[in-house]
Amino acid sequence: MIPRYTRPEMAAIWEPLTRFKIWFEIEAHAADAQAELGVIPKEAAKTIWARGKDAQFDVARIDEIEREVKHDVIAFLTHLAEFVGPESRFVHQGMTSSDVLDTCFNVQLTRAADFLIADVDKVLAALKKRAFEHKMTPTIGRSHAIHAEPITFGLKLAVAYAEFSRARARLVAARKEVATCAISGSVGTFAHIDPRVEEHVAKAMGLAVEPISTQIIPRDRHAMYFATLGVIASSVERLATEIRHLQRTEVLEAEEFFSEGQKGSSSMPHKRNPVLTENLTGLSRMVRAYVTPAMENVVLWHERDISHSSAERMLAPDATVTLDFALNRLAGLIEKLVIYPENMQKNLDRLGGLIHSQRLLTALTQKGCSREDSYRLVQRNAMPVWRGEGDFETLLKKDAELKKYLSDAEISEQFDLGYHFKHVDTIFRRVFGES
């Protein structure tokens, strides 16, 4: 995490003090359950809560203890004892470090997911608003980056809306999958702690019980979580790349908002560069980069090891913070995106009508011309236009062989732009519902 690409709300989830507060809650809830089961005195559980709930945990002090004991959870428990006093001997009974670490980790991931779901909702809202604004704005559709056939700019944005709708559903599923709690003790057998303690802590922390935890919560859950973030980052980059292409000088169908006083280049005063979308491309690459170590963390020795721990300490904050920043930047970018319908029309007209070639091909086949001959007749008139040698419709009307099948009026009929948009309403209903 670096401040430049960090929003404070998401960063706060990963701060040491937040982590220690969650650790305390886990330990205190476990103590409550232990007290109800008669394992520890009820007064001890009350004291743990009373003296720890509002304790001002000293991160520097915990770090100092850890430098001596070389164990983060023991360092925390030692510091907690400084607040709780003699009753601290009842804290952590029957538990192991992973019970605290993994349950806390999943609490943090679910909180991060809640932010990310809200971020995706902002992107969806921006896309929907702009899609309806340009529902019938004609533009050229491209395949292989080459002019293909007409679409609308609203359809471009509807495609992105549908993609981010899927992203939201995946994120909700990933949150549910990772929201589990393990309080099962060493190697996960509950030998030293009653499973009912786990059930109590899980409910108190808003988690589900991990069916079998071995000592750690299985990392396939986390791998799916970070893989989902990686897919969402790819969707961010896909949309950012589309905008970058549309902002090219030769295209200029859409452009990032350029504010008063903004500078595009240190040397060329005329420049207006797609810096936000280029930034989103780079950030997306970083989020995806964390997917591989998350996948590799699934592979641990026997009932546990900690080869995953160091990787998670870096990848979890960085991936969630970076994607949070990227999604918010993307939402703002779409809200303020400058769109140029007149340039879209210029580009539609750029190839002299060639974008209607498929209609001519189909019309000829429907008049009895073989597909092979239809393709040949249309292509031989299209290629000169491609080279800048004439107008497509004019050349077609001069082709004697083609005129055996189509009259001048029938040829002109195939150049109707509106023909391509007759099902836009149907597509919008599929994407956005009846709104």
Catalytic residues: 144, 265
Q: CA 394, 397, 398, 402 torsion: positive or negative?
A: positive
Q: Which residue is listed with tokens 């920043």?
A: 325
Nearest to 217 by CA among 109, 292, 318: 109
Biggest alpha carbon distance in the chain?
103
Instruction: Please report, for residues 151, 253, 383, 434, the alpha-carbon distance to residue 133 in angstroms, rounded to integers and kept in the order given.
Output: 15, 15, 36, 16
31: left (phi > 0), else alpha (psi -120 to 50), else beta?
alpha
Three-state SS at 239: helix
Q: What are the two backbone dihedrals, phi and then psi, of residue 234, each rounded to the nearest 5 degrees? A: -65, -40
Q: How many Cα neighbours within 13 Å face the side chain of 394?
A: 6
Residue 329 exposure: Cα atoms within 13 Å on the Cβ side: 27
The distance of Cα 310 from the centroid of its chain, to the nearest Å, equals 24
DSSP 210: P
Query: Which of the 8 DSSP states describes residue 71?
Result: -
